[in-house]
Amino acid sequence: MSTTDTTVWAIRTEALRRTFRDKSQVKKKKGAKNGDGANGANAGNGAAEKAKPQDFVALDGVSLEVGEGELFGLLGPNGAGKTTLIKILATLMYPTSGRAWVCGYDVQERPGQVKKLINMVSGGEHSGYGSLTVRETLWMFSQFYGLDSREALRRIDELMEIIGFKDQANTKISKLSTGMRQKMNFIRGFVSDPRVLFLDEPTLGLDVGVSRTIRAFVRDWVKARPDRTVLLTTHYMAEADEMCDRVAIIDSGRVLACDSPANLKRSLGRDSAIELELAGGQVSEGGLTAIRGVRRASVTTEPASGKSEATLIIEEDGAVQPLLGYVADCGAQVLAFRKKEVTLEDVFLSIVGRKLDENGNANGNH
């Protein structure tokens, strides 16, 4: 969707900040104060006492607006602050400062109103009681939301059918595999038919087929009614690209870019992306970015085989010749050279300076 002056915001945050106390430092200080064995008397004036607990900044002034009807993605590496942001919006955590609204309600002042309109699913969560079946568990959750019992069972059966989970309807929770449990949790998110649904890594650890079904289902669900909104987090680039109307790239608690996947890719302008497969040699990110025309570089090496993969964002084709010269000087053999269509992965590398791998780790030079 394109946002306009008349857009109704389903989610809005203003300079949202959340810090956490660094527990390791707090402990050190406590230990020093109380006396710590034979050295306790001296420790009070020692280095541990001076070490002031540093607050760890998980969210660093996040201002976002998500329109009603949007499927909006938060894309970022492990520790970027995605779950923290979702927890604040879902009224599970307070911000340290700043404000947030869901469907116009302030999450701190009107948490009860917000709760009525939302639902949240986290990949890998462990909800439910082992001795209940899948269908019983989902029904139980529906009753927490005050749904009519028969209507709830109708919805549950329909959702299980769509997600391909019908055969497990009468399986006890304790017998579910991790992936099956995730499917059940996913269905739980939709049973209450929320206005705003938060999906925290919905396809984490699921196989390709199930992930595809889930992505398609979420898209269809949000587009079926104009007042449904989804905020999802992911570190899968392709997922964000394929599903989301708009994406916010978030790193170290800050939003670095926010736009549609197409516009984000266009923002690279005339830059292009190159992938190199290399054998042997010592190609470094620093060495690559020192080449004129190379803007960003990320190198991952497989220690066992000595093979490396380099992804580069180049500003001009003139960089290719010196690039190949540098690789040869490093003693590396070029196994494959690809100039490719720009993807969200390249946008991430270009903006954040690091490449995001499939586990959510960001590697590369700043």
Ligand X SMILES: Nc1ncnc2c1ncn2[C@@H]1O[C@H](COP(=O)(O)OP(=O)(O)OP(=O)(O)O)[C@@H](O)[C@H]1O
Minimal CA–CA distance to 344: which of 274, 261, 276, 233? 261
Find the shortest distance in angstroms from Cβ 249 to ligand X. Answer: 12
**Residue (59 or 312) nearer to ligand X, CB:** 59
Candidate list 53, 360, 363, 365; residue touching ligand X; CB under 6 A: 360
Distance CA 78, CA 234 (A): 10
Read off the tokens for 37: 């064995």
39 binds, among ligand X, Mg ion, none (CB under 5 to 8 A by kind): none
Q: At what angle do helices 178-191 and 134-144 cross, to 10 degrees?
A: 30
Secondary structure, 3-state, 211-242: HHHHHHHHHHHHHHCCCCEEEEEECCHHHHHH
Read off the tokens for 197: 């649904």
Of residues 224 through 263, those in contact with ligand X by CB under 6 A are 235
Torsion angle of alpha carbons 320, 322, 324, 327, nearest 10°? -140
**Residue (49 or 125) nearer to Mg ion, CB:** 125
- Residues with Cβ within 8 Å of 173's Cβ and at least 6 positions away in sequence, in order, are 128, 129, 130, 131, 132, 133, 134, 137, 181, 184
145 binds, among ligand X, Mg ion, none (CB under 5 to 8 A by kind): none
Distance CA 160, CA 38 (A): 63
Contact between 354 and ligand X per CB under 6 A = no
**Residue (58 or 232) nearer to ligand X, CB:** 58
76 binds, among ligand X, Mg ion, none (CB under 5 to 8 A by kind): ligand X
Find the shortest distance in angstroms from Cβ 132 to ligand X. Answer: 28
Residue environment code for 70-105, b if the CB has 16+ CB neighbours within 10 A, otherwise e: bbbbbbbbebbbbbbbbbbbbbebebeebebbbbeb
80 binds, among ligand X, Mg ion, none (CB under 5 to 8 A by kind): ligand X
Candidate list 64, 75, 80, 232; residue touching ligand X; CB under 6 A: 80
Find the shortest distance in angstroms from Cβ 200 to Mg ion. Answer: 6
**Residue (61 or 360) nearer to ligand X, CB:** 360
Q: Which residues bind Mg ion (CB under 5 A)?
A: 82-83
SS3 63: strand
Mark residues 39-78: x for contact with ligand X by CB under 6 A, - for none. -----------------x-x-----------------x-x
Distance CA 238, CA 241 (A): 5
Candidate list 10, 13, 73, 83; residue touching ligand X; CB under 6 A: 83
Candidate list 28, 82, 246, 355; residue touching ligand X; CB under 6 A: 82
Q: Are 347 and 311 in contact (CB under 8 A)?
A: no
Of residues 288 through 327, those in contact with ligand X by CB under 6 A are none
58 binds, among Mg ion, ligand X, none (CB under 5 to 8 A by kind): ligand X
360 binds, among ligand X, Mg ion, none (CB under 5 to 8 A by kind): ligand X
DSSP letter assigned to residue 38 = G
**Residue (138 or 362) nearer to ligand X, CB:** 362
107 binds, among Mg ion, ligand X, none (CB under 5 to 8 A by kind): none
168 binds, among ligand X, Mg ion, none (CB under 5 to 8 A by kind): none
- Residues with Cβ within 8 Å of 358's Cβ and at least 6 positions away in sequence, in order, are 235, 236
Residues that bind ligand X (CB under 6 A): 20, 56, 58, 76, 78-84, 235, 360
